[in-house]
Amino acid sequence: MSASWGKLFFQLVLLLASCGHINTKTPSPTSPSLDPISPLPSDIRRVVLKGESHTEKVELLNPVDLALECIWSGNENKSPNITGYWRKDGEEMQSIRVTVQLENDKYTLRQVFKIVSKENLGSYSCSFGDEAKVDFLLAGPQIGEVRDKPIVSYVGDSVVVKCKMDEKKPKPVSWNWYRANGTDKEQIFYAAEPQKYEIKNHEWATKLVVHKLTEGDSGFYYCEGVYAVSTTMGHVELKVITFLEPLKPFIAIIVEVIVLVAAILIYEKSQSKKNSAGGNETNADQTNTPTPGDNNGPEESSSTRQRKA
Amino acid sequence: MAPAPANTLGYKPPDGGWGWMVVIGAHISIGFAYSTPKVLSIFFKAIQEDLGASYSEIAWISSIMLAAMYAGGPVSSVLVDRFGSRPIVMLGGLMCGVSMVIASFGTSIAYIYFFIGIIGGSGLCLNLNASLTIISKYFLVRRPLANGLAMAGSPVFLCVVAPLNQYLLDRFGWRGSLVILGALMLNCCVAGALMRPVALPPQHRRNSHSSLKTVEEQRSGSNTEPEGSCMKKAKKFINLSLFKNRGFVFYLIGNMLYIFGAYAPIVFLPVYAVSQGLDDYSAAYLLSIMGFVDMFVRPCTGLLANSKWIRPRIQYFFSFAMVFNGVCHLLCPLLNTHASLVAYAVFFGVGFGMVFALMFECLMDLMGSQCFPSAVGLVTIIECFPMLLGPPTAGFLVDLSEDYKYLFLLMCGSVIVAAGLFLFVANLYNYHMLDKEKAQKDQEQQKLRTSENQEQKKLRSSENQEQQKLRTSENQEQQVSTAEGEQEEHAAESVTVRTGTKDENEAQA
């Protein structure tokens, strides 16, 4: 009887051990999720090169597997093999240098790039030997309306600086505002100074309201629209002037008006003084003398009037 | 030498001399009046962003200004009649300038409506009315030319002030630009200073009433009612007796139809051009071409209207100009290339300029210079309605049909052609009736004269008879008295002779 208890006990222990083992095989939830479970969407950009070089702009917002394809019809020598290589931002990507075969009278170079973050953007070039090149500029969408003239506002006033994205293109996830400080040094705003700055974001546009302007607020302001992989930058210039600036032409014009009015009235007074000095006869003459030639006209007309009657 | 139009002023106007300086003043004043509501639209976008208003709210600024400018006509007429043109133009310039400067400090859209729209508009209204009136006082023979030159101020100022405004906006922002624009409008005060009142010789002032009634209307273009009534009623704001004048009513109807269709093509031309494939820049350029052509057409029309063939028939020339303008619009839907649209802009400028150069000259011609101030006030306040209704109606039609061509150009073109034809027929009728009335009057006057002559003859003959009687009775009396006198003398002589002989006798004894 103890042998059967022993067997049962041994089987129980085995059962428990195997259960424990099953438990440890379950993957823990804390493992990193860097490995994409679902594949990235793919996109292809194909350029058939006519001539020696070409530049293609590619707008990207979201992570994508981007296939870039360059097709070249070759030059006079149509050699059967040619070296094809890729460059990113000017630096050659050594690992993907290939030898391209001439097929159907064309050379084809194709490469898939994973675009997942901002660093993956930039300028990608495919080159056929040293003879032909296609540049692909990968970037975010351009800001729709870029204001080329500066916004002018006054000290103590508040101003609205606006950046607007073309509504046909997708809207940014968020907006940021920067201010140029010295040369290329940029500072980010938050609601750090709520009395001074106010950021109002709509879907395709963003507005920066600056209160209590001072002359130091003049300069360039940059709005940045943030997408999943890319950002896009627009700039607006703000000029703050004091009210003295328009006041100078204003006073100049007022002085001119007063001088002219005074001159005209004084001239008139002097004319009438001359006439009154000449006596009443010249007064009556004055109405007739300006038009000596026309004196005969109305007289003729009065005579014709009588004739007609 | 053009046959002189009826002189109802009571004095001979200078027709030159200082009058040309007055034309310069009127040119400046009218230029500001017509161009300011249009050029302010350059600031609208900047004001809209700063004050947070919507596009339609901003567009109301121009409409309010135009409405105030036209509706204030009667008030302006009364003031001009009372004080003369010079102080009124100076006041108008001051109002405009000050209102612009105050508006530059605005923080809400209602503030801007009040200062730019209402006060600025009223200032411009005073300017407009007073300038037109003083031209009618200074010119008679050369009046169409003077009117053409003065009305040319509108396109000239439009072409000059529009780019200036753009420059000011880029340099000073909209607030600074309003301040400077206000200062520029004070130049209307300079224009006002030039408008010296006409120096009337004193005896003409006294006789003005009687001469007005005795002057015969030589040309049938004048009104038939005695002008003295206009002078008495000028104190009233709205002189309803003007409506009894047939010519005035016809003019008013024709003008209202014209104004309804006139402004809409200007508003929609750039948009239409873009829809036909032109780029934005060329489309905007079309309006500049039209303005440029307009600048030269107005004085030329004035010169042409002054010639001896056209001056007596100036009302017909006016209706021709309107029909030309309307036909231009009717042909526009057929044009869709860049070159043909430029040609359309040129012809549009010609037609538009001709009509506006003649518009007030024809009113002066119809009403005469005494009735003109109250007439022009009445005309502008009534024209306010078609002017404000025209472009929105065209816009509504465009929205309905989603096609610019056939609806709004047909609507504007046909309305304007109808106005021109109506005026032509109406003037034919009017002149015909005036001729008839004049013939009747002449007959009556002749009858009066002959009956007067007869009475005078009778009087004279009876007077003569009485005189003869008197003379004969006098003669008889004289004879009697002389006869008696002789007898006495004889008696006296005989007495003296007797006494003389007596003395002689005594001396001898």
Is residue B65 very low, low, confident or very high in pLDDT (cuts 50, 70, 90)? very high
Count of H-run helices and E-run strands, chain B: 19, 0
DSSP secondary structure string, A103-124? Answer: ETTEEEEEEEEEE-SGGG-EEE
Beta bridge partners of B507: none
Beta bridge partners of A198: A209
Mutation target for A interface from B9, B12, B181, B194: give the one with most A CBs within 10 A.
Answer: B12
**Residue A246: how many CA atoms within 13 Å on its side-chain side?**
27
Residue B500 has pLDDT above 60, yes or no: no
Let me know: does A127 contact A85? Beta carbons within 8 Å. yes
Can you tell me the distance from the alpha carbon of B254 to that of B252, in angstroms, rounded to the nearest whole number? 6
pTM of the predicted structure, to 2 decimals = 0.73
How much is the pLDDT for A263?
94
Q: What is the mean pLDDT of residues B333-341?
A: 81
Handedness of CA B15, B20, B26, B32 (dihedral sign): positive
How much is the pLDDT for B208?
45
Instruction: Encode pLDDT of B211-236 as tens digits.
Output: 433 333 333 334 444 445 676 665 66
Strand A64-72 and strand A42-49: the pairing is parallel
Is residue A285 very low, low, confident or very high in pLDDT (cuts 50, 70, 90)? very low
How much is the pLDDT for A249?
92
Residue A283 has pLDDT above 50, yes or no: no
Terminal C-alpha separation, chain B = 106
Residue among B298, B304, B265, B266 nearest B155 (CA): B298
How much is the pLDDT for A33?
41
Is B339's Cβ below 8 Å from some Cβ in A? no
Backbone torsions φ then ψ of B299, nearest 5 degrees: -65, -35
Mutation target for A interface from B9, B89, B179: give the one with most A CBs within 10 A.
Answer: B179
Secondary structure string (H, E, C) spanning B46-65: HHHHHHCCCHHHHHHHHHHH
Is A264's Cβ below 8 Å from some Cβ in B? yes
Q: Is the ipTM of this complex over 0.90?
A: no
State the amino acid at position A85 in one-letter form. Answer: Y
Residues 6+ apart with CB under 8 A from A195: A211, A212
Residue A273 has pLDDT above 50, yes or no: yes
CB contact under 8 A, A297 and B1: yes
Beta bridge partners of A153: A240
How much is the pLDDT for B96?
94
Residues 6+ apart with CB under 8 A from B40: B61, B62, B65, B116, B165
Is A184's Cβ below 8 Å from some Cβ in B? no
CB contact under 8 A, A309 and B216: yes
Backbone torsions φ then ψ of A151, nearest 5 degrees: -85, 130
CB contact under 8 A, B49 and A162: yes
* Closest A-chain CA to B204: A284
Is B189's Cβ below 8 Å from some Cβ in A? yes
CB–CB contacts below 8 A, A to B: 103
Is A145's Cβ below 8 Å from some Cβ in B? no
How much is the pLDDT for B399?
79
The pair of structure tokens assigned to B297 is: 């057409």
Distance from CA of B480 to the nearest CA of A (A): 56
Instruction: Encode pLDDT of A146-183 as tens digits.
Output: 677 888 888 888 888 888 877 777 777 888 888 877 76
Alpha helices in chain A (DSSP H): 2-25, 244-278, 280-288, 296-308
Query: CB-based burial of residue B285 (10 Å sphere; 0-12 exposed, 13-18 middle, 19+ buried)?
Result: middle
Let me know: does B105 contact B175? Beta carbons within 8 Å. yes
Residue B364 has pLDDT above 70, yes or no: yes
Let me know: does B163 contact B177? Beta carbons within 8 Å. no
Q: Lowest-pLDDT range, A19-28, A116-125, B276-285, B295-304?
A: A19-28
How much is the pLDDT for A38?
64
* Closest B-chain CA to A251: B183
Q: What is the share, in percent, of chain B residues with pLDDT greater than 70?
A: 85
Instruction: Encode pLDDT of B29-41 as tens digits.
Output: 999 999 998 888 8
Q: What is the mean pLDDT of residues A239-255?
A: 91
Indicate the average pLDDT of chain B. 83
- Angle value at C-alpha B295, between B289 and B299, nearest 5 degrees: 145
Instruction: Encode pLDDT of B137-164 as tens digits.
Output: 899 889 999 999 999 999 999 989 988 8
Which B positions 110-169 lie with beta carbon below 8 A of chain A? Answer: 141, 169
